[in-house]
Structure 1
Amino acid sequence: MELNQDTATQKLACENIKKQLKTLTKRLEGAKFAREIEDVHKVRVASRRLRAILRLFGDVYGQDKADSWQKQLKKLLKGMSEARDLDAEIMFIEGVLSEIDYNSRRQIPGIRRALLRKQQARQKMQPKVAKAIKRFEEKNILIDMHLETERILFPIRNRETAKISEPLLERLRERIEPHKNDVLKKLSLLKDIQNSEGHHKLRIAVKKTRYCLEAADKAFEGSLSNTISKVKKFQTLLGDMHDRDVWKAGLENLINDEKERTIEYFGSAKPFPRLLAGMQTLKDKIESQRLQLYQQASEYAAVEVNEHFWNNIDEPFKNSAAESTPET
């Protein structure tokens, strides 16, 4: 279906793009040189949001151009995903280590070894991150997006217009509906505690719905914020569950690798239990947190973000914009 463009649509598209460009411009350099742990995370989030905005408003910029930008943003994300996962895991292990008391000191060697291996892996990953960012910068994507945004805004910036219009509402309805339906279809996957793959798929569907709502929120002057907060909390719970699934699998591989290293170095596995105690503590902590997060997500889905919530999540986009101030 071909969607109409009007000033309200163009302004909302440009405002959203400008906001994410500001974050990327601020954080890219830091991510390239690993200055702050949050830089990589902020770049990834801004890139994802830009891709979501371009899916929603790509025709405002020209679909071919928007598709090309999305492609480059996807490459940037791919080059940074593993680094961010390691950053999060390192912070988790550091947190566990900081909580160890004197009576549990026998666990320290294994936890420190796990931390060392993750830090080594993260250090090894940084050149890949820097390379992905450098390639992205060489394409001048941010400059092109900024110039194109200013070109679109120039003739309409001072034009008095309603923030919400029928063409904009129609666009928002069409874009959010498949995401909403996808969440409704996948909610039942949460009933099975063992279905980690299903939980991950549900998280992705929830995330796409959230990004669509966030892109619309400025036009609604923040009235969607309560809904967005609920969706964000649900997504966070599901995301934290997925992190634990990934960490558990990685830790099991690490235990096997460290046992093999011990045998190779000492000619026997006898020294390995010294490391195993701490690594088992990490595994137990991961499993415990995963269970707690699952229980929280299930309860939240039943009470706050149930089927009724998702069925009505697009209600603000169904209201008539007839009373809005017409374009002049």
Structure 2
Amino acid sequence: MQQNQDSATQQLACENVKKQLKTITKRLEGAKFARDVEDVHKVRLASRRLRAVLRLFGDVYGKERADNWQKQLKKLLKGMSEARDLDVEIIFIEGILSELNYDSRRQVPGLRRALLRKQQARQKLQPKMAKEIRRFEDKNILIDMHLDTERMLFPLRNKEIPRISESLLERLRERISPHKNDVINKLELLKDIENNGGHHKLRIAVKKTRYCLEAADKAFDGSLEQTITKVKNFQTMLGDMHDRDVWKIGLENLIEEEKQRTIEYFGSARPFPKLLPGMQMLKDKIESQRLQLYQQASEYANSEVSEDFWNHIDDVFRRPANAD
């Protein structure tokens, strides 16, 4: 483990790691046994944040060690990704069903069939995800990170440590700069409503910037909170847009698959039209929400997170460490 970083950097690194470890440790068992859909969500979110922290402060723990932790966390995230996507889609379809009235009864069969297929797919994924979680647990990654963090914190506990140092500020500037520049370069992609892939790339750049800000926030006594909230809101809109892009493609495939199943089971496609009103309603809802989200994201980009906002997002890291 390297010891050439200053105490402010080490302390902030450890505080961030401890926070995410706590969430993963608390929620991982629930995700393994499908106790609550929020368990999968919280583990994935904390794992992504932890990977971002390790990219920011990995050398504090030693590059080789941090790289291995990142690699194992990436495998865990990959093993849980599809399950979380299905959880969100299931909740979405359940919400539509709960709002239907008697006049919409023709849509019920198709919606219920879509929900059933998503639930079946999710159930099928659980053993595979549980296996990946057990593999991760067997590596003792969380234990190793906890022990290394406590070892690093121990000699710092009786010291008067400044929250911010010049070394820490330089690190934060270097890490956030490529992410914010990536956002600035990709903001133009939002002007094209058809550029779904570009919108997704913009979301990823925004997400990386957000995680860097979140990792720095404690050193600045929460003064970055307002900025983080704006970045998070923008990321959420872009993420919800991407969800609907994926759902639309999946639904189009599902419609074709259900038609083929009907032919195989009944020897004819004649019963299939009963499912179409509900599936078409679902498709229309996805498309209308996607358009609404695009409009919201575009307006938000112009009013709250314009290019000027991103240009100055790291100004706080450019002040002297001893500034009031």
TM over 0.5: yes
Say if 1:237 and 1:4 are closer, same or farther in 2 by CA, change over 3 A. farther
Structure 2: how far apart are the matches of 1:96 and 1:322? 54
Q: Deviations over 1:14-49 (max 9, x none)?
A: 000000000000000000000001000100001000
Q: How far apart, CA to CA, are the structure 2 residues paired with 1:40 and 1:210? A: 21
- Tell me whether 1:220 sits opposite 2:220 in the alignment: yes
Matches within 5 A, 1:8-157: 8-157=8-157
Q: 1:299 to 1:323 in 2, by over 3 A?
A: closer
The aligned counterpart of 2:190 is: 190
Residue type of the alignment partner of 2:37: I
Q: CA deviation at 1:323?
A: 4.5
| Structure 2 counterpart of 1:282, one-letter code | L
Q: 1:266 is matched with which residue?
A: 266
| Equivalent residue runs for 1:248-267 within 5 Å | 248-267=248-267
Local SS of the residue matching 2:275:
helix
Q: Separation in 1 of the partners of 2:151 and 2:161?
A: 18
Whether contact under 8 Å (1:190, 1:298) holds in the other structure is: yes
Question: What is the SS of the residue equivalent to 1:80?
Answer: helix
| Deviation digits for residues 69-114 of structure 1 (CA, Å, limit 9, x no counterpart) | 0000000001000000000000000000111110110100000000
Ranges in structure 2 where 5+ consecutive residues have no aligned partner: none
Identity of aligned residues (%): 79
* 1:320 alignment partner in structure 2: 320
Aligned equivalents of 1:33 and 1:161: distance in 2?
Answer: 42
CA contact (8 A) 1:4 1:167 kept: no
Distance 2:68 2:182 in 1: 26
Aligned-residue offset at 1:4: 6.3
Which amino acid in 1 is paired with 2:269? Answer: A
Preserved contact between residue 14 and residue 153 of structure 1 (Cα < 8 Å): yes
Shift of 1:263: 1.1
Please say if residues 172 and 317 of structure 1, whose CA atoms lie closer than 8 Å, have aligned partners that are also in contact. yes
Please tell me the residue identity of whatever aligns with 2:254. L
CA distance in 2, matches of 1:161, 1:92: 48
Partner of 1:279: 279
User: Given that residues 107 and 278 in structure 1 are in contact (C-alpha distance below 8 angstroms), is that contact kept between their aligned partners in structure 2?
Assistant: yes
* Alpha-carbon separation, structure 2, partners of 1:158 and 1:215: 23
Letter in 1 for 2:138: E
Counterpart CA distance in 1 for 2:323 and 2:293 is 44
Unaligned runs of 5+ in 1: none
Q: CA deviation at 1:322?
A: 3.0
Matched length:
323
Residues of 1 paired with 2:158 and 2:189: CA distance? 48
8 Å Cα contact 1:32-1:133 kept in structure 2: yes
**Kept after mapping to 2: 8 A contact 1:206/1:235:** yes
Give the RMSD, CA atoms, in angstroms. Answer: 1.2
Structure 1 runs (4+) greater than 6 angstroms displaced: none
